Amino acid sequence: MPEPNHRLREAREQRESPYVPGESLSRQELADMANAWIHEHLERVTCLTANYIGKLERGLVSWPNADYRAALRAILGARTDRDLGFRRPRRQRAVGVTVADVDRKAFLRTALGTSLTVPLTNLLTSVEAPAIPSVVGEQDIQEIRTVAATFSTWDHTYGGSLVREAVNAQLRQSVALLENARCPAKLRADLYAAVGFLGHAAGFMAFDAYAHDDARRMFRLALACAEEADDWHLRGKVLSSMARQAIWCGDPDTGLTLVEMALVRSDRLTPAERAMLLAARARALAKLGRRQDTLITVGQADEEFARIRRSDEAAWMRYYDAAQHAGDTGHALFDVAMRGGSPDEAARRFATAVRGHAPAYVRSRAISGIKLATLTMAKGDPDEAAAIGARAVRDAGTVRSRRAIDDLRELHRTALPHRHRGSVAELRHRIEEAIRA
């Protein structure tokens, strides 16, 4: 039997959650922080999950790879691997013929009956889909939730383009579970909610990649699941994302309608959810040119945000912190400023967002930085805008986001009148390189 790793568990539990004061760091929070640390310090992409942290703590894995060990030491303040209970497995003496004794390629060709020169995709043409269980259990539902949380984390940090096919496959598998497996009545709402959260994650990835028709279909699936589960929180989140997509696609009127639908019976929502929806409402109103209504709604969003108690919010809403709120409301005020209003408040909020976004939310930090640079380029000092823009371009270079690229194009156009300045010319060159990449 594996020996539990008490040292790692105790080290995690001694670290306070960054989102819920007074509570210990959760496994998912530790996984997210490790992924962000590895990306920031080692410039590598990893997908550490709460499930893997659980395996480490239960002793099922005693020696994680070097990147994971380095990240966990840094986050948990450990000097050595042994301080976290990690043990290198004992080496076993090789018996019989070693790999070096044979021509490995010749061996594989003989054993597999194929040539390694064939296209690798040909080897996957008949791969069978995982079997659908006949009866849904709590573990199946938890696995869907874990997958949804993992892909959401990946989307925030790296953008959704790279793993859309993977999340789509997981979504198809989960929908097949809904349609073909028997589910006990007491678990049915939980199953629909879990599939709905996964559908939302897939939809937002598609939106970020400009696969807009796919995004709309996935959002509708997620909304149907929310209605079936009678989950008002999921319903609000999905309608918020549908509104954001509509606004982005040049249809703020539909976006406003979707937000108003989400705010029906807003008493059933949490302060963070209401703040999120009011920020989206302000963005729609700003696009419609309704300046005074925009300012009033931003104030209402601020009032709801001030009521937030982190311990009362669901884990999936804890992303909506001060940085996220500042960035979302800053987008609404950006449109007001670009139409003749004062740029000061929008600039202040974007600066707050850029300073406050953790490494796990680098896409949001990049987009807020690009918007701040664009606003400063249009209304302030072009050299200051170039410095802000250079940092934002570096952030944008770490994610795959069509939205971020379009914002870079807007900054590039806004900088055109100042192209003869050396700093602005350099910024425009960096943007061109980022877009090509």
pLDDT in tens, the chain (437 residues): 678 999 999 999 999 887 677 788 888 889 888 888 887 788 676 667 888 898 899 888 889 988 899 999 999 999 999 999 998 876 544 444 444 444 555 544 544 444 444 454 454 444 455 667 788 989 899 989 988 888 887 776 666 666 677 888 889 989 988 888 899 999 999 999 999 999 999 999 999 888 999 999 999 999 999 999 999 999 999 999 999 999 999 999 999 999 999 999 999 999 999 999 999 999 999 999 999 999 999 999 999 999 999 888 888 888 899 999 999 999 999 999 999 999 999 999 999 999 999 888 889 999 999 999 999 999 999 999 999 999 999 998 888 888 999 999 999 999 999 999 999 999 999 999 998 87
> For residue 186, with 0-12 CB atoms within 10 Å meaning exposed, 13-18 middle and 19 or more buried, which class applies?
exposed
pTM: predicted TM-score of the whole model, two decimal places? 0.71
- Characterise 275 by phi-psi region: left (phi > 0), alpha (psi -120 to 50), beta (else): alpha
Question: What's the confidence (pLDDT) of residue 409?
Answer: 94
Measured CA to CA, the distance from residue 164 to residue 339 in angstroms comes to 36
Q: What is the pLDDT of residue 96?
A: 46
Instruction: Return the pLDDT at 322.
Output: 95
Residue keyed to tokens 């796919």: 214
pLDDT of residue 149: 84
Inter-residue contact 113 to 71 (CB < 8 Å) = no
Assigned token pair, 249:
């696609």
Give whole-number Cα distances, 214 to 202, 218, 224, 247, in Å.
Answer: 9, 6, 15, 17
As a whole number of Å, the end-to-end CA separation of the chain is 49
> What is the identity of the amino acid at 5?
N
Confidence (pLDDT) at 162 = 61
